[in-house]
Structure 1
């Protein structure tokens, strides 16, 4: 019984590590899938967990970031940070502005630094994109990125064996 509990806790520990890693800004599923594979998960399992974890912050960002930014703009301490984040997100959102939902899918789906779920959600919120369009677009883009990263992670595994 003791070994079963130990094995279960070790298994959950790995899964929670992947889940929480994928929810972090900058790392997202682009980093969480390789982490899961490195911790012994199958690429598919790591991908599914990472997909779920990386989508957790999206509704919170889409619904709350504008009021939070508006409040923080009024403070001396965070005014520059909010301006920098807003300017950076808007400068990278040209494709989203030009192509709308399709641009958001491509922006999130291309696994490059600074083009993930967090940046896409922030850009969608700042561009006043409605949730019913933004969330599915971010999900589809994230699935595209997940498939690409899973393929790369699987390819690296093949090379190492």
Structure 2
């Protein structure tokens, strides 16, 4: 896998490669930051900056694409609309209680946990599904991203670098 990443991103700078990895829903910051540190050998500050920057891109993409896609599906493609509704119903069922308890602050808690499936992509989709005001949602998502980045950085530096945090 590491050889594949080095070969795939061989023609671009390690900083841009780190940002691109962080913008993908499969890797996000949780995988991109350790890769930036351990594979691309970026210093901790540079790796943190570029992976956070790259992980901000999905917020814009989800807010620009998901609401119009939902309207399009509702009007023109019943099959896609059913699939989207099923997906959103699963999200509401899975996270509805926590959203009811914590409100929009739930987005911060959700994104700040550096676990698979709790990143910016899912957090932004949850914000759209629960119809949280975008300015409020984005502020909580970004704050959660910054905390998650620091946690991943600390874990990566502590585990793989013998505690040399910065």
Residue of structure 2 in register with 1:5 after alignment = none
Determine helix, strand or coil for the equivalent of 1:25: coil
RMSD over aligned CA atoms reads: 2.5
| TM-score normalised over the length of structure 1 | 0.83
Q: How far is the alpha carbon of 1:12 from its aligned partner?
A: 5.1
Matched, 1:51 2:38: no
Could you report, residue by residue, the CA deviation over 1:54-111 in whole angstroms, capped at 9, with x for unpaired residues?
A: 0112033134412212322542553453234313322332323321221110011111
Distance 1:16 1:84, change over 3 A: farther
**Which of residues 88, 91, 94 is equivalent to 1:89?**
91
Q: Is the 8 A contact 2:18 2:47 kept in 1?
A: yes
Question: Which runs of no fewer than 5 residues in structure 1 stay unpaired?
Answer: 1-9
5+ unaligned residues in a row in structure 2: which ranges?
A: 1-9
Aligned residues between the structures: 153
CA distance in 2, matches of 1:29, 1:18: 9
Q: Which runs of 4 or more aligned residues in structure 1 lie more than 6 Å from their structure 2 counterparts after TM superposition?
A: none
Post-superposition shift, 1:142? 0.5
TM-score (norm 2): 0.80
In the other structure, the counterpart of 2:6 is none
Q: 2: distance between equivalents of 1:15 and 1:53?
A: 10
* Equivalent in the alignment of 1:69: 70
**Counterparts in 2 of 1:106-145, with a 5 A limit?**
106-145=109-148
CA contact 2:157–2:163 (8 Å) conserved in 1: no
Superposition deviation, residue 23 in structure 1:
0.5
